[in-house]
């Protein structure tokens, strides 16, 4: 389970901090799969984690919007 959690973290490599976070989330999902003897609990946990991270991303949005490639600012 440790190896699969590490691979899960590496598959979500945005930054080294996120690799660690995703690895721990992968460990949690793996433990849920073992504990429940199924995949529905880890799938639900992954969905909840994704929704929380998306909400955090929206809440941390800079006031002027995200800078787009080329220096343009997306104000949508």
Instruction: From first to last of the 76 residues of the chain, give the pLDDT tens digit.
Output: 889 888 988 998 888 888 998 999 999 999 999 999 999 999 999 999 889 989 998 898 877 777 666 655 555 5
Q: What is the pLDDT of residue 58?
A: 87
* The model scores a pTM over 0.85: no
The whole domain housing 31 covers 2-59
Contact predicate 8/22, CB 8 Å: yes
Q: What is the pLDDT of residue 14?
A: 83
How many CB atoms lie under 10 A from the CB of residue 21? 16
- Of the candidates 28, 40, 36, the one whose C-alpha atom is nearest the C-alpha of residue 4 is 28
In a domain, 14, yes or no: yes
In a domain, 10, yes or no: yes
Number of domains in the chain: 1
Q: What is the pLDDT of residue 15?
A: 86
């Amino acid at each position: 389970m440790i190896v699969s959690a590490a691979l899960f973290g590496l598959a979500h490599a945005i930054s080294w901090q996120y690799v660690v976070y995703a690895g721990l989330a992968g460990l949690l999902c793996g433990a849920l799969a073992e504990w429940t003897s199924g995949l529905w609990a880890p799938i639900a946990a992954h969905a909840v984690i994704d929704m929380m991270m998306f909400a955090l991303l929206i809440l941390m949005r800079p006031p002027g919007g995200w800078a787009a490639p080329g220096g343009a600012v997306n104000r949508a």
